[in-house]
Structure 1
Amino acid sequence: MKPLFFLSLILAILTSCSQNKAPETKHHSDFHFAEVNKSTFERTELVYIPIYSDIYYIDSKHTFSLTATLSIRNTSFKDSIYLFSIDYYNSTGEKVRRYNESTLLVKPMESVDFVVENKDDTGGVGASFVVEWGAAKSEAQRPYFQGVMIGTTGQQGISFTTEGVVIQK
């Protein structure tokens, strides 16, 4: 009788755990794509966001791997923004990859994010994103660009943020 009780208990625990699934993250297939003529936009900017896929600790020979997230938040209640290019660069200034194949539409108060996984060391300590964005109206509110880095090893953890800066209007 005891083995049947324990088997039932284990099944109940497993079933209850599977019902509490974490929310799914947004995948590229969930983005809104748009075909637009960039030259018709009244406002376009190039924004630089520092990202650290790893960071030095102890000395210049030891690095701590991080997961980095680029978060782009449309802060307008009424205007959409458009992301023409989202490019990831490494420490030597070489473009590693482009995160979008076509223009992304970001609706009012919507946010999109792009992840550089912990095991991806192609960026290095001096990695960055450069994002070209635009809006139909010149008075459109600038989106908020933020890098969020986090890493854990054993019981050691580190997290910090960076902000984007406009490098070209």
Structure 2
Amino acid sequence: MKLKQHFWVCWAIAAIVPTACSTQTALQKQKLSSEQKTSLRAATVDRAKVVMGQTLYVPIYSHIYHYNSQDHVMDLSATLSIRNTDLTNSIIITSVRYYDTDGQLIRKNVESPVELKPLASTNFFIAADDTSGGSGANFIVEWVAEKKVYEPVIEAIMISTYYQQGISFVSPAKVLKQHGMPN
């Protein structure tokens, strides 16, 4: 009898967890939007004054395969994090573009240049149910600075907590182009 009760309790918990995670994700989306509004403000770029900058590729895994075949897929949420590590100078994010597995542009997350103040951070969220990018999705991020600055930390964090399984990992950015001299 106790075995049956234990089974039903475990089943009930497994049924509740995805719902709780879905609600939390919706709240996190709202919070991220308000964080972006406070950390970013419109900026203009005078290309003649640009001292340094980079174009970066950031891999995004919207799903991964598990078990013994590609038939078993685990959808992941992803957060692109951009952190200005300079203590005194701002950087200007000129472009954040999201591409799918085939290299097709899905959306532009930054339409015009925005300033990221010293030690400020911003992020862009891809929900677990947004499978438009596929397993080979990526962001291309471009930033510049009008003074010599420490390079920002740009990386993606993927996570899933589906059906009592948890997985999370970080995907660092790869520099495609360097503009000017880094510190």
TM class, shorter-length = 0.7 to 0.9
Structure 2: 5+ residue runs without aligned partners? 1-26, 179-183
| Residue 43 (str. 1) matches residue 88 (str. 2) | no
The Cα shift of 1:33 comes to: 1.4
- Structure that is richer in helix per residue: 2
- When the two structures are aligned, how many residues end up with a matched partner? 148
Residue identity matched to 1:168? K
Deviations 1:47-99 (A, max 9, x none): 11111111111222221101100000000101100100000111111111110
Deviations 1:114-153 (A, max 9, x none): 000111001111111110100112x311100010001121
| Residue 86 (str. 1) matches residue 96 (str. 2) | yes
Q: Which residue of 2 aligns with 1:6?
A: none
Structure 1: 5+ residue runs without aligned partners? 1-20
| Residue 70 (str. 1) matches residue 72 (str. 2) | no
| TM-score, normalised via structure 1 length | 0.81
| Residue 115 (str. 1) matches residue 125 (str. 2) | yes
* Cα distance in structure 2, aligned partners of 1:124 and 1:110: 30
| TM-score, normalised via structure 2 length | 0.75
Counterpart selection for 1:153 from 152, 162, 166: 162
> RMSD of the TM alignment (CA)?
1.9
SS of residue paired to 1:79: coil
* Cα distance in structure 1, aligned partners of 2:82 and 2:150: 13
Percent identical residues: 36
* Cα distance in structure 1, aligned partners of 2:60 and 2:77: 10
Q: Which residue of 1 aligns with 2:146?
A: 136
| Residue 99 (str. 1) matches residue 106 (str. 2) | no
* Cα distance in structure 2, aligned partners of 1:108 and 1:52: 29
Q: Which residue of 1 aligns with 2:32?
A: 25
Structure of larger gyration radius: 1
* Cα distance in structure 2, aligned partners of 1:70 and 1:24: 15
* Cα distance in structure 2, aligned partners of 1:126 and 1:71: 18
Deviations 1:89-110 (A, max 9, x none): 1111111111011111000000
- Structure that is richer in strand per residue: 1
